[in-house]
Copies of this chain bind each other. A is one copy, B any other.
């Protein structure tokens, strides 16, 4: 980051820093030095002049805690490294701790210790914030220090600050986004190349978009952690990752993708946070999205977040959702903010938590569904199926009957019914499904996927 020094022509004419500057440096401890941490270290060291200009005071990297401090690292001074993270967060000369270790422990105890020692904290750790964020925010408030975490959701895309500050005078109704680049890459690959999940995953792993153990991404745990953070911010409450309804994408087949395209839709893994009459619904699941919807056009490993607010209307934020440099950019923005606050002897605005809004279960959610079932190709079937829906007060929007591929007239189950139902309460739809599963006119279990953004 060299906005000041990079303007080689212009820089020579600059009038000098105009903010009141203290020459005592702020000192930063960095926990972790992997893909993100090494970029953060590089940006603090090589962008020192710019950081100083923005903060009004020098910012120094005072130590880096890693598992293997003796491992040679290009362009980072070896004497900064230590294996003793606990000693680093307890050091009296540290003002700000940046945590990019990830995971719950030891990150949680290190951050709590840093706060108790009076340091402000910048973290990218979504899993930790979704599990223990509210204890961390309370500790920070009690000690008058900052906890900033723009990098924890959607990488470099500014979404935490807009929700926490820009939209704080509005009423947010819904936040819906693609917040996991790995699964978007996989689903995009399945859509554009017609390949199956396993092959798309293998390709994502080969290119570094997926981990060797992809569970956290493909089962939706990562997206659920981000949904918990977004729902807490949007609705000024406390939602933990474990309270987020979660389905992953491992069951999505090329046939699902083809069926979606037949309806002018694509399949996306969505994180959705909305206010339902029963409370806050936070959920992660694959959904059909129209291919011309702002979320339908998000390609590859990008992220995008769609916000619906009462006064502001529909807003969308998009960009790279992960990666070392984008994540480090978000961390550096937080570092400058936290360092400015320190320099002025204040903390930023506290988390605006006004109480615990109840969490609405998935059954209370109102949405649309796409459903496919196998039936016998005989007169009266559609009427029988439709009567099941009518009995549960679920209204059909479209019905399409087609011959089932690979089936013979003889085995009876030769037709496929594809239906889209109007917006309905999920529990009513579930009751339909249960009755259809039991019905002699339906073969096997119905297959369904939610429909959003239509």
Chain B residue, CB-CB nearest to A169: B332
Chain A: number of interface residues, binned into ranges: 35 or more
Binary flags per residue of A271-303, CB closer than 8 Å to B gives 1, else 0: 000010111100000000000001001000000
Nearest CB in chain B to that of A138: its residue: B18
Given the interface contacts A14-B357, A15-B355, A358-B9, does A315 sit within 8 Å of B318 by beta carbon?
Answer: yes
Chain B interface: which of A84-92, A200-208, A305-313?
A: A305-313
Distance between A53 CB and nearest chain B CB, rounded to angstroms: 5
Cα–Cα, bound, A395→B329 (Å): 36
List, in ascending order, chain B residues with CB within 8 A of A318's CB.
Answer: 294, 315-316
Q: Which of B39, B166, B235, B358 contacts A158 (CB 8 A)?
A: B166
Q: Given A9-B278, A10-B280, A158-B158, are A312 and B336 also a contact pair (CB < 8 Å)?
A: no
Taking the nearest CB of chain B, how far is it from the CB of A282, in angstroms? 13
Rounded to whole angstroms, the CA-CA distance of A9 and B356 in the bound complex is: 12
A336 touching B162, Cβ below 8 Å: no
B2 with A171: CB separation less than 8 A: yes
B166 and A150: CB pair below 8 A?
yes
Asked if A113 lies at the interface with its beta carbon under 8 angstroms from chain B, I say no
A-B contact pairs, 8 of them (CB 8 A): A3-B170, A9-B278, A10-B280, A15-B356, A53-B236, A311-B326, A317-B317, A346-B346
Q: How far is the CB of A264 from chain B (nearest CB, A)?
A: 16
Tell me the smallest distance from the CB of A82 to a CB of chain B, in Å: 24
Is A165 part of the binding interface, using a Cβ–Cβ cutoff of 8 Å?
A: yes
Beyond A9-B278, A156-B312, A168-B333, 12 extra complex contacts between A and B, CB < 8 Å: A8-B277, A14-B354, A14-B356, A17-B354, A43-B169, A54-B236, A165-B336, A169-B333, A309-B329, A311-B329, A312-B325, A316-B316
Please report the C-alpha to C-alpha distance between residue A291 and residue B6 in the assembled complex, in whole angstroms.
33
Do residues B355 and A326 form an inter-chain contact, with CB atoms below 8 A? no
A367 interface residue per 8 A CB criterion: no
Whether B340 and A311, one on each chain, are in contact in the complex, defined by CB atoms closer than 8 angstroms, is: no
| Contacting pair A162 B162 (CB below 8 A) | yes
Question: Given the interface contacts A39-B311, A320-B312, does A337 sit within 8 Å of B158 by beta carbon?
Answer: no
Interface residues of A in 326-358 (CB under 8 A from B): 326, 328-337, 340, 344, 346, 349-350, 352-358
B355 touches A332 (CB 8 A): no
